[in-house]
Amino acid sequence: MSRRVVVTGMAGLSPIGCDWKQSRDALQHGRSGIQRIAAWDEIDSLRTRLAGPVAGFTAPSHYPRKSVRAMGRVSLLATRATELALEDAGLLGDPVLHSGRCGISYGSSSGSPPAMGVYTRQIYGGRTTRGIGANDYLQLMSHTCAANLAQFFGVRGRIIPTCSACTSGSQGIGYGAEAIRFGLQDVMLAGGAEELDALDAAVFDVLYAASTRNDEPDQTPRPFDVDRDGLVVGEGAGCLVLEELEHAKRRGATIYAEVLGFGTNCDGLHLTRPDPGGMEQVMRLGLAAAGIDAEAVDYVNAHGTATDAGDIAESQATLAVYGDRTPVSTLKGHLGHTLGACGALEAWLALEMLREGWVAPSLHLERVDPRCAPLDYVRAEPRELACETIASNNFAFGGVNTSLVFRRFRS
């Protein structure tokens, strides 16, 4: 059995906005959500001071304490994005959520870092369990987002926690689509989230992969640019409500797009060094699953981390698959690298642009690094583009790769 999978609801919270209107304005006017984080000045030897927070986010007042006490910020962001996506789909409070035919495929690169800090401080620093609360583990566990979403919305179908660093969100969407395509579920809440913490910045800082333009937060990161100096971490959450086509039609749902294909693989070569061969293969897997040729894709939403090796490898792989005539851009110049959320946030924003017939440029891309492949990079200004089919690619530590292919809905 192979069933068609469509997107009937979508929402996100990111450094450039908590709805599409705010996000569109930032994307069209070249505004990023990157800030200097003054509190990180206290961390000895940390070189970067840059990040993309979701400004002003707090848990909504209507969330019951009983429902959120096991949630760190990462789960709260995930819950709010999912709530907004369910509202958009017209499924918030619908009995299908509790029917066993609705599931969750959602991830993050880790649980909530402050909760991890409680354990490490007490166990390794204080050699005691005093001060560790009953909910600390529930906030730090790797499947905290998926589990808390299930509890909050009363979802009783299958739970697929994705915890694959920067492909957590895109694998969430892909695995969710597969669960519907093969008849295992009718609806899936799919996506990813990440909570901003100095721990995330330190991961890349010690690898010399983080931007240190600390006095120029409005000039970094610079994906594919010759003057890029590394990535900038960010936070956020994105959710797509995926639905089996006939199920969506029966209830008269608005259909935004179809999930045409999904590919995922692993380089199997190196934990941190990207491999253009694995990237190329996953793009071809996504196209094969979609049943289309590369020429049918009108736009590629690139991962584009602004790291030296990553941008070069990705551009080479993209050229090998899509050639030099398919428009390509990345959203990380605006968002920063939102890690476990990026695959979901970037898919959401790309689908919104697909609906409106334009694509955002790669912010700060002024001079393409000559070591990067000669692609049709969208830069400087948004480009009007009547897209029918788009691809969204993401890559993660561990050599994990994903490619999602979406198409404007055809009845």
Contact assessment for residue 121 and residue 115, using Cβ atoms and an 8 Å cutoff: no
Which are the contacts of 177, defined by CB distance < 8 A and separation ≥ 6?
A: 5, 188, 190, 242, 259, 262
Lowest-confidence pick of 103-107, 334-338, 407-411: 407-411
Nearest to 167 by CA among 394, 349, 12: 394
Please compute the mean of the pLDDT values over residues 273-277 and round it to a whole number: 95
Please compute the mean of the pLDDT values over residues 292-311 and round it to a whole number: 98
Task: Supply 168's token pair.
Answer: 């957590």
In this predicted model, what pLDDT tens digit does every residue of 347-393 receive, in sequence order?
A: 999 999 999 999 999 999 999 999 999 999 999 999 999 999 999 99
How far out from the chain centre does Cα 6 lie?
Answer: 18
CA atoms within 13 A on the CB side of 382: 20
Output the pLDDT for position 411.
79
- Hey, how many other C-beta atoms are within 10 angstroms of the C-beta on 2? 7
Share of the chain above pLDDT 90, in %: 99
Output the pLDDT for position 1.
64
Question: What homologous superfamily does CATH list for 5-408?
Answer: Thiolase/Chalcone synthase (3.40.47.10)
Output the pLDDT for position 2.
86
Q: What is the mean pLDDT of the chain?
A: 97
pLDDT above 90: residue 407: yes
Please compute the mean of the pLDDT values over residues 78-92 and round it to a whole number: 98
Please compute the mean of the pLDDT values over residues 321-334 and round it to a whole number: 98
Output the pLDDT for position 410.
84
166 noted as active-site residue: yes
Residue 203 sits at the vertex; the CA angle it makes with 278 and 275, to the nearest 5 degrees, is 10
247 noted as active-site residue: no
List of E strands, 267-338? 299-301, 327-329
In this predicted model, what pLDDT tens digit does every residue of 15-41 receive, in sequence order?
A: 999 999 999 999 999 999 999 999 999
In this predicted model, what pLDDT tens digit does every residue of 209-265 receive, in sequence order?
A: 999 999 999 999 999 999 999 999 999 999 999 999 999 999 999 999 999 999 999
In this predicted model, what pLDDT tens digit does every residue of 180-198 receive, in sequence order?
A: 999 999 999 999 999 999 9
Catalytic residue among 303, 342, 364, 387: 303
Catalytic residue among 18, 102, 166, 387: 166
Q: Would you kindly state where each structural domain of the chain is located, as residue ranges?
A: 5-408
Please compute the mean of the pLDDT values over residues 85-103 and round it to a whole number: 98
Catalytic residue among 143, 334, 337, 364: 337
End-to-end CA distance of the chain, in Å?
A: 19
What SS3 state is found at 317?
A: helix
337 noted as active-site residue: yes
In this predicted model, what pLDDT tens digit does every residue of 111-134 receive, in sequence order?
A: 999 999 999 999 999 999 999 999
